[in-house]
Amino acid sequence: MAKAKPQPRAASRAALSSSYAETQGPGGETHQTAGATGAILTTAQGIPVADDQNSLRAGARGPALLEDFHLREKLFHFDHERIPERVVHARGYGAHGFFELTDSLSDVTRADVFHREGERTPAFVRFSTVAGSKGSADLARDVRGFAVKIYTKEGNWDLVGNNIPVFFIQDAIKFPDLIHSVKPEPDRGFPQAASAHTNFWDFISLTPESMHMIMWVMSDRAIPRSLRFMEGFGVHTFRFLDKKDRSTFVKFHWKPKLGLQSVVWNEAVKINGADPDFHRRDLWDAISTGNFPEWELGVQVFDQKFADRFVFDVLDPTKLIPEEELPVRIVGRLVLNRLVDNFFAETEQVAFCTQNVPPGIDFSNDPLLQGRNFSYLDTQIKRLGGPNFTHIPINAPKCPFAHFQQDGHMAMRNPVGRVNYEPNSWGQDGGPREHPVGTSSFAEDTGPKQRLRPDSFADHYSQARQFFISQTAGEQKHIADALVFELSKVERPDVRARVVSHLLNIDDGLAGAVCDGLGIEPPEPAKAARPTNRKLQPSDALSILKRPPGAFTGRKLGILLTDGADIALYDALVSATKRAGGAVEVIAPKISGAKLIDGTIVPAQQKIDGGPSVLYDAVVLLFSPEGADALKTDKAAQDFLSDAFAHCKFIGYTGPAAVLFDVTGLGDKFDDGCIELKSKRDAGAFLNTCRALRFWDREPGTKAKDAAAPPKKAKPKK
C-alpha cells in the first residue's frame, strides 16, 4: 500500500498571523485561504476548516471518504438551501421601518400600539405580486401584497393586506379554486405571472362576485409605477375592542405620502424586458439614498348603526366603504428606513399570519378573513419546516414572551426548569400564567350550522359600476383595453362572451368597447341575483388621476446626453430635479459617459440600448449638433423618444434634438408636453411642468372632447 502523503497541519486560530495561509492539495497545487485578518472558515459546528478546495479521498485519484464531515455538511446544507416558495405572493421584497402613532385611538381600542402619540414601534413590510413565481417579473398585471408586521409591546400584529381594498371571492373555501385558475395551467405550465389565459377567465365568468375586483385588477392599480406610490388596505372589516370589550368596526388604509402613480400597459411590458427587478430596485435605491418611503395609516371607524344602514354588508370582502360616505381618519405613519441584511433570512423567511392581533383588535365574521386565520398558520408550518418558525429572528416578537411550547423541528429555545405544563402548583417557579389583559373576542349571536351565503352578499355589480364611473376617461379606456387584451388570450369564445355578459350589468359603454375590441356581438346580460344600483355616486378617492400628487418628489428624470452638450443646462437640470425631490439618471451612447462642451466628463448610469425611457418619469434629450447627428440613425435612441411620447411623458429637448423627432415621425406632433430647453433658465420651469407626471392629453380618449363622447354602447342581442 502506498504511503499517504502528509497533509499540512491547520494552524491554530491564535497562530494565524499573515493575510493569507497556504494549503497544498493532493496534486501539489497551492490554494490561498483567508488568514488572521479575516474570519476563520469553520463548519456549522464551529470546527475550523483547513482545506475548503478538496474533498477527502483515499489517494489522489481514489474514492471520496464517508468520514469527510465537512464535505457532507457543505453539500447537505446546499441541497436544502431552498425552502418551498409561497403558493401565492412568492415574488416579494421587504424592508424594515417603524410605525409612529400621531393620533391616539385610546377611546375606541385598548391596543397599546394606539395609545401614545409620538411613540415609534418597529415594523417590517413585505410587498409582493400574487400569481407569479419567485423568478417572475415585477410589472406583471396583478394584485400587490402589502403585508405589515408591527412588533408591538403586546406581541406581533400582522396586517396582511393588498393594494386593492376588495377581493375576488367572498368565502375562503373558493380560494384554492381562484389561485388554481390564475396559476400556470397544469398541463403546460404557463402562462407565468399572468391572468390572460382561459382558465382564469373561465373561473371569473362563472363567479360574478369577482366583477368588482376585476374592475380594479384591469385598472392601472394593478401596474403601479413603484411600490412607494401605491396604497395598502387591510381589505377586511376588523373590530376594535376598548377596555370594557365594547366593539367598534374598523377598516385599515395605508396612504403613500408620495401620492399614487401607475404605468400604462405598453410601458409595463417594456419595463419587464428592460428591468424585471424594477420595483425592488426602486425600493432599494430609495432607502439606500435616504429617501425613506412613507405611508399614513388611516382608519374608517364605524358602529353597528352605520353598518346596519350601509347599503352593502360590511362583512362582504368584495365591497368597500367609499371615503365620501365614511372619511378616513389619519392616525399614524409608517416609514421604511432600513434595508434587510440578508434577503433569505428576512424577506423570504418572514411569516405573516392574519390571526396575529394584539389585545384590542379583533376579527369580524367576514368568511374570507375567518378562512385566512386558519390557512396562514398551516402555510407557515409547511414552508418553514415546523411549528418553531417563530424562533426565526424576523418572526420573533420584540416584547417579553413566555409559554410552555417545547421541542419540535428546529427548536431554538425550550422551557427552563421542571415545569412544562399549566395549570400547575409550583407557585413562582411554575412559569407563566394567563392574565386578564390578554386577548378577548367580541361575542356575537350565532345561528344554525349551514353552508350558505347571506342575501346581503348578493349584489355583485353595483360597486363594480361605481368604481368604473369614478375613473377619468383615460382610466376607463385603460380598463377596456386591459379587458380586450386579456380576453383576446382566451381560447374559448363562450368564455369571452360570458365575461362580457357581466360587463353589461356594469356599464354599457365598457361592454361596447370590449365587444368592439374583440370583434364580437354583445351577448345577453348575465342574470343578476340583485339588479345593479345605478344611483351610486362616483367616488374621486377610487381614481388615481383625480388625485394627482402634484409633485416630482421621489420620481426620476432620465437625461439622454451626448458629447458636446451644454454643461450649464445639464447642471441646471440636475439642480432643479434635486430641488423638486427627484433623482437624475444619465443615459449616453457609451456607458463611460459624455464629454460636455467645456470638457467635463459626466459618467452615465445607463448605455442607450440598456436605459430605455420606460425607466423614467420624464426625459430630456440634451444633444449637441454633432451628438444629434450621430444618434438620429440609432434605433435605441429613436425608441427612447418614441416610447416617451407614446407613454405621455414630458419631454425636454434642445434644438439639435429636433432631428430625432423628424426621423421618428413625430416632427409634426409637438404638443405642450414637448418643451424646448434653450438655456439653463428653462430648467426650473420644465421641472415645474413635470409635477403633473404625465401629459395625458396626448393619449386618445383622454382629451376633454374625447371624454365628452362616451364609448359606443353595446346593444345585447335579443
Q: What is the CA radius of gyration of the chain?
A: 30
Per the DSSP assignment, residues forming a β-bridge with 92 are 128
Quick one: how many helices (H) and strands (E) in the chain? 19, 20
* Cα gap 592→594, rounded to integer Å: 7
* Cα gap 71→540, rounded to integer Å: 63
- The residue type found at 401 is F
- The residue type found at 454 is P
Q: Which of 480, 546, 470, 544 is nearest to 701 (CA)?
A: 480
* Cα gap 226→231, rounded to integer Å: 11
Strands 651-653 and 674-676: parallel
Per the DSSP assignment, residues forming a β-bridge with 160 are 147
Helix (H) or strand (E) holding 124: strand 120-129
Is residue 197 part of the annotated active site? The answer reads no
Q: Which of 601, 495, 615, 516 is nearest to 556 (CA)?
A: 615
CB 622 within 8 A of CB 683: no
| CB-based contacts of 671, cutoff 8 Å, min separation 6 | 695, 697, 698
Give the cell for residue 209: 362576485
Dihedral (Cα; 370, 374, 377, 379), 10-degree rounding: -110
CB 220 within 8 A of CB 262: yes
Dihedral (Cα; 493, 495, 496, 500), 10-degree rounding: 130
Per-residue burial over 368-404, b = 16 or more CB atoms within 10 Å of its CB, e = otherwise:
bbbbbbebbbebbbebbbebbbbebebbeeeeeeeee
* Cα gap 701→704, rounded to integer Å: 8
Kindly report the CA angle at 506 between 458 and 461, in degrees rounded to 5?
15
Is residue 180 part of the annotated active site? The answer reads no
CB 193 within 8 A of CB 487: no
Selected catalytic residue, list 96, 156, 162, 253: 162
- The residue type found at 52 is D
Kindly report the CA angle at 236 between 232 and 237, in degrees rounded to 5?
120
Give the cell for residue 146: 402589502
- Report, as residue numbers or ranges, the catalytic residues: 89, 162
